[in-house]
Structure 1
Amino acid sequence: MFDVAIIGCGPVGAFAANLLGKSGLSVLVIEKEANPYPLPRAVHLDHEMMRLFQSAGVIDAVAGDMCDTEGHLHVGADHGVIKYMGTVGRARPFSWSNDYFFYQPELEQHLRDALAAHATVELRLGVGFEGLEQDADGVTLQLSGGDTAKARYVIACDGSRSAVRKALDVRLDDLDFEEPWLVVDAEVDGPVRFPDLWGVPEAADLQKLSVMMCDPKRPATIVPGRGNHRRWEFMLLPGENDQAMMEPHNVAALVAPYLSGVPHRIVRAATYRFHGLIAERWRQGGVFLAGDAAHQTPPFFGQGMCHGLRDVANLAWKLAAVVKGDAPDALLDTYQPERDPHVRAVISAAVGAGRYICVLDPQAAAARDAEMREAAKVTQQGTAADLIPPISTGILALDTAGSGERFIQPRVGNLLLDDVTGGGWRLFARHAEAAPEDVTVVALDTLDDGGAIAAWLDARGADALLLRPDHYVFGTGEPADLIALRDALIAGAVSQEIAA
């Protein structure tokens, strides 16, 4: 019997397998396709995902194919800027950039190749999932070809049409957003052309920004990419036919204003329905839904795949603790309560952006533009990373300053913090403190981080913080109290309100 079986070896499933394999768990990965899908789908991730790739030991394999970019620009109906979420000149408290673009087939292959480093991970390609049965000992999977496999736990990373979710009869909560868009990927040998825009900040480089044209004539997004890969997303207008809009002559007409005189080759054109959907249950017995199997996010802030990687980062350390006998199975019940509100908040922000982006009435668009420009005068423009909220419930020291926040990753000399301290549970304190063996103590008076973590603690009026393995802050306060509360929460010896 395997400790964990993973259904689907896309980016989320392959990342999960690497993370669990690094923890020493025995893992079976089932993937119906022999090779990664050859065309790009997801294209964006953020600094938190790069840090998670560090955690899984795959950062050196993937970093070279990432394109570091500079944020997002939204342009109104009159071709004037209505929102700028740029990162040029901003501090990088997490060290990694806020925005990276990548080519999904390359990323998937890197993550699959990395599995060879883990002797406890078995990858079966060309094998499909056909059903499952659960009993007190675990989950038995029915696989294509009449084969079966048994695992204590299963993570379904099998996408938006998840066969596992359907087998469990889990319904989706519809957040009432569905819009048809045409996605066009191209190889472009030169700079993309833009119409004359006004109000563009001096520091903004349009070639390094995700530019949303909020034009009621046809909303569109122009997305940078690694190498010569570029993406366009065009909203389909009422009455337009999906198949007709994918015809080469229509695709050529849509991209022509941006590529006039620029050598290029269309790689693919496909229509999608941009959804806001969340599964009602993410756990059923020993089976967990993750990634698109658990939720689907409109792409306006590029967080779809990021959600999936966060899912498995949240789940992986808990599974490792349970399998190794360091925590009861009930710890896994915190997975959905921690992740669902987090995902829901980001999807709600993306849906909100989608509603103003997709305005097709010229008068309503003009009113929107005026309103957003007025708001920008009194509100400091943030970045897309600011949309990610803290975790608000679960394995946390609730009501302590900084609890649930994503923790910073400053440089320590020429290295990143996690590469110096290692992962797992970490206690950052101003001076050396006593802690159990599973907690790494980091004394700030011996850490060459330029005072970054001390400043973080100063801002929250604290002398110590306990950091979870997924890089979210458990809480701040007295070290002994934090560790005692952590142990009690994990053991189920104390309870606190868990919001679903």
Structure 2
Amino acid sequence: MSADVVLGCDGANSTVRGIIGAELEDLRFEERWLVVDGVCDGDLGAWGGVHQVCDPRRAATFMQLGMLRYRWEFRLHPGESTVDLDTLLTPWLGTIGVRVVRRAEYIFRARIADRWRAGPVFLLGDAAHQTPPFIGQGLGAGLRDAYNLAWKLADGDPRLLDTYEAERKPHALAQIRLAIVAGWAMTGGQDRAAAVRRVVLGAIWRLPGLKGLALRSTSPPLRLARRGRRAGRLAPQPSVVQKGRTVRLDEVLGGGWATLYFGKASGPVVGRAIEVTPELDPSGGLRRWLRGRTVVLRPDRVVHRG
């Protein structure tokens, strides 16, 4: 990384935003939530995923973090300063005891910086955007910022750096808006909205086509990569077999550009050429994704062409 490049990624401090004259645009979402971690005396029988309680009176989230450690998140009402933890936790615990090891209040906000760069100074992560957590993309978005910027810095072409904000800002904004919609769908509204939500969500999980759409990746395509129907989208990360070991695709791709093909490559090969053989891809998942096409991947694993 060039010594004259400054990165700002501290959402708790506006110093770097101030350096480049950036301001946060408020996307009109703010909620206070209480997060409680506890170690229980016994197994609560959680199913292993995340429980989202779509109750307009008290929206909540519950998940298991370890053998006997669990997390509860409860939305706080406007102006609410104190809550009775026993009242909140008892429906989940029954007769099982719990030792609270962490209790913290968070404000979920939706905001995005109006500019992400001034000369050698770049914003990324929470300094550039802040999202409600309802689709779980906060940390992921920051990592994508870092990966997008890192390979462009390493490439050395200053023109590439001009594409950082142009690619990442619309992508981050789309995900923040999706998180707002998801948050309202899960927790918003009163009795009438809650009744509609129960009907709609019930229909989604009964119809296989709609269920598949709901579970599809929340990552929208980058706008600047438009060569083929997959261009701009993240590549999959399946398990493959290399030298007798089962590894993730990233280990085969290496750190730079790569070209994936099955049979014979069509078009120019960029970076590492990888033939997707049945030996490499015994499950066939990667070949099904390729669908006979040659796909060129950028170092950040975004499809450049294919």
Give me the TM-score of the superposition, normalised by structure 1: 0.55
Equivalent of 2:222, from 391, 394, 416?
A: 391
- Summarize the Cα distance change of 1:360–1:402 in structure 2 as closer, same or farther, 3 Å threshold: closer
Match of 1:297 in 2: 131
Equivalent of 1:192, from 38, 41, 44?
A: 44
- Summarize the Cα distance change of 1:294–1:229 in structure 2 as closer, same or farther, 3 Å threshold: farther
Question: One-letter code of the match for 2:301?
Answer: H
Match of 1:457 in 2: 290
Measure how far apart 1:380 and its partner are.
2.5
CA distance in 2, matches of 1:363, 1:453: 45
Question: One-letter code of the match for 1:211?
Answer: H
Question: One-letter code of the match for 2:68?
Answer: N
Answering whether residue 75 of structure 2 is matched by residue 235 of structure 1, we say yes
- Summarize the Cα distance change of 1:375–1:410 in structure 2 as closer, same or farther, 3 Å threshold: closer
CA distance in 2, matches of 1:351, 1:268: 27
Match of 2:233 in 1: 405
On the 8 A contact 1:160/1:296 being kept in 2, the answer is no
Answering whether residue 118 of structure 2 is matched by residue 284 of structure 1, we say yes
CA distance in 1, matches of 2:278, 2:260: 11
Structure 2, unaligned runs of 5 or more: none
Answering whether residue 254 of structure 2 is matched by residue 426 of structure 1, we say no
Structure 1, unaligned runs of 5 or more: 5-150, 194-205, 477-500
Match of 1:222 in 2: 62
Q: Deviations over 1:110-130 (max 9, x none)?
A: xxxxxxxxxxxxxxxxxxxxx
- Summarize the Cα distance change of 1:370–1:320 in structure 2 as closer, same or farther, 3 Å threshold: same
Measure how far apart 1:302 and its partner are.
1.6
Secondary structure of 1:152's match? Answer: coil
Matched-pair identity in %: 40
- Summarize the Cα distance change of 1:321–1:253 in structure 2 as closer, same or farther, 3 Å threshold: same
Measure how far apart 1:228 and its partner are.
3.4
Equivalent of 2:98, from 253, 256, 264?
A: 264
CA distance in 2, matches of 1:334, 1:224: 40
CA distance in 1, matches of 2:187, 2:110: 15
Answering whether residue 298 of structure 2 is matched by residue 474 of structure 1, we say no
Equivalent of 2:274, from 437, 442, 458?
A: 442
- Summarize the Cα distance change of 1:384–1:274 in structure 2 as closer, same or farther, 3 Å threshold: farther
Q: Deviations over 1:22-47 (max 9, x none)?
A: xxxxxxxxxxxxxxxxxxxxxxxxxx
Q: Deviations over 1:386-430 (max 9, x none)?
A: 22222222xx2x141211121123333222222234231001123
- Counterpart mapping for 1:306-455 below 5 A: 306-322=140-156, 327=157, 329-378=158-207, 379-382=209-212, 386-393=217-224, 396=225, 398-413=226-241, 414-431=246-263, 439-445=271-277, 448-450=280-282, 451-455=284-288
Give me the TM-score of the superposition, normalised by structure 2: 0.87
Measure how far apart 1:446 and its partner are.
7.9
On the 8 A contact 1:160/1:295 being kept in 2, the answer is no
- Summarize the Cα distance change of 1:192–1:167 in structure 2 as closer, same or farther, 3 Å threshold: farther
Question: One-letter code of the match for 1:344?
Answer: L
Match of 2:19 in 1: 167
Equivalent of 2:51, from 202, 206, 211?
A: 211
